[in-house]
Structure 1
Amino acid sequence: MSTTDGTAPATGAGTTAASGEAGEAGAGSGRDAIVRAARRAFTLQPYAEVTLRGIAAAAGVSPSLIVKRFGTKEALFNTVADFGAAADALFAAPLPQLGRHLVLTMVALRDRFGGDPLLRVVFSLGIEDERTLLRARFREQVTDRLARSLPGPDAALRAELIAGQLLGLGATLSLHRPDGAGAQASAEHLADLYAPGLQRLVDGA
């Protein structure tokens, strides 16, 4: 597969960008803006229709900055298709507190990136190869990783149900924004209501 702009992406591991941005954006903010714009673009458009120029315009940076930090459109897609960083944040809590942590972290990630960190696995408009890659990465980096950490029986099933509830939370908040009840609620209140069900699945009780 070609690595030029406008062709289908490879299914190998993506290039990891540097954590800071210089020049057109403050430290850290440039990369976040590019990743946010790329996530929207690759979710809402087929891969072949996405351009680095369009992503750059949406992110408020120059195309040359994207090339400098990510290289090619293929490498940028592979960064967007990587759920590892979101999983690191979501699962960074002891199991007895994981349910609440999942809700609070999901809301925090949505605020940071201006969108849900997981929903692109459901709504991507890419061709079958792209959707297959996203789903395989999601299973490997989110669902299977969580299942390995859960005690008790039915760990794989419980991990899938937890992932589904997180996707449901993200979809609900997205569906009713900007003035829905969920959008107006604090993260703590959302966790009060939503976390107990997640925690029961974590505990296997």
Structure 2
Amino acid sequence: MTSGQAAVPAPVRSDTDPGGPGTREPRTGDPGTGDAGTGRDAILRAARRAFTQRPYADVTIRGIAADAKVSPSLVVKHFGRKEELFNTVADFGPAAAELFDAPLPVLGRHMVVTLVRHRRTLQSDPLLRVVFSLGNRDERSLLRDRFQEQVTDALAARLTGRERTLRAELIAGHLIGLGATLGLHRSGAGADATPEHLADLYAPALQALIDGS
């Protein structure tokens, strides 16, 4: 965090996950968003764009509200202060819990199927927003810290055998790469493939890292 700025409080749990490059951001009220006219999901999408693409000090509640097409008071009603909204955006815990919720012998396949289904159901990617924080030294670096703690370290703690941290880092890279590829080629062959077929092709490399083989 840069000098002179208030400390960012402990993370607040989020019930949605971020969009990434190439993903369509559904507008408020779209089927499947769970927004139902409240504006909450639109605010989250706008906040993700703001905090991952601009320095923290440049982001304002008013600017997020304008992007989300809601009033600033509605942003405050749903999320409180800017620091609390930032913490919601920076929380990878729920996504990691879902991605890692399978026994180790089938975890690779579970992660691929879960990630693809998440993208298609919610029109967003659970991990890709961390990419926007790379190379930044302001509060956006907190995204990397949270990703390390909530995704990479959490996965490493589940693995067995040697080089668990290295293997967890490589697995995280595979998952981010899958999301980026599906976003880049969103009208390509992957868009027509089932999650299960994508897992047939992609999961073996993940599983080899999980097994340590």
TM-score (norm 1): 0.81
Match of 1:185 among 181, 184, 193: 193
Which structure 1 residue ranges, 5 or more long, are not aligned?
2-6
Moved more, 146-155 or 28-37: 28-37
Q: CA deviation at 1:120?
A: 1.6
- Which of the pair is proportionally richer in helix? 1
Deviations 1:60-111 (A, max 9, x none): 5433222112101221111101111111111111111111111111123323
Mapped to 1, the partners of 2:192 and 2:5 lie a distance apart of: 40
Q: How far 1:121 sits from its partner (Å)? A: 1.3
- Using the TM superposition, name which of 187-196 and 102-111 deviates more: 102-111
> Percent identity among equivalent residues?
66
Closer, same or farther: CA 56–189 of 1 in aligned 2, 3 Å = farther
Corresponding letter in the other structure for 2:196 = E
Gaps of 5+ in 2: 17-27
Between the two proteins, the alignment pairs up a number of residues equal to 196
Q: 1:114 to 1:34 in 2, by over 3 A?
A: farther
User: Which region of structure 1 is more displaced relative to structure 2, 99-108 or 56-65?
Assistant: 56-65
Selected match of 1:46 from 35, 38, 55: 55
| TM-aligned CA distance change 1:144 to 1:190, over 3 Å | same
SS in 1 for 2:138: helix
CA distance in 2, matches of 1:115, 1:147: 25
Kindly tell me: are residues 32 and 92 of structure 1, through their superposed partners in 2, closer, same or farther at Cα, counting changes over 3 Å? farther
- Supply the AA of the counterpart residue of 1:183: A
- Map of 1:118-133 to 2, 5 A cutoff? 118-124=127-133, 127-133=136-142
- TM-score, L = length of structure 2: 0.78
| Residue 209 of structure 2 corresponds to residue 201 of structure 1 | yes
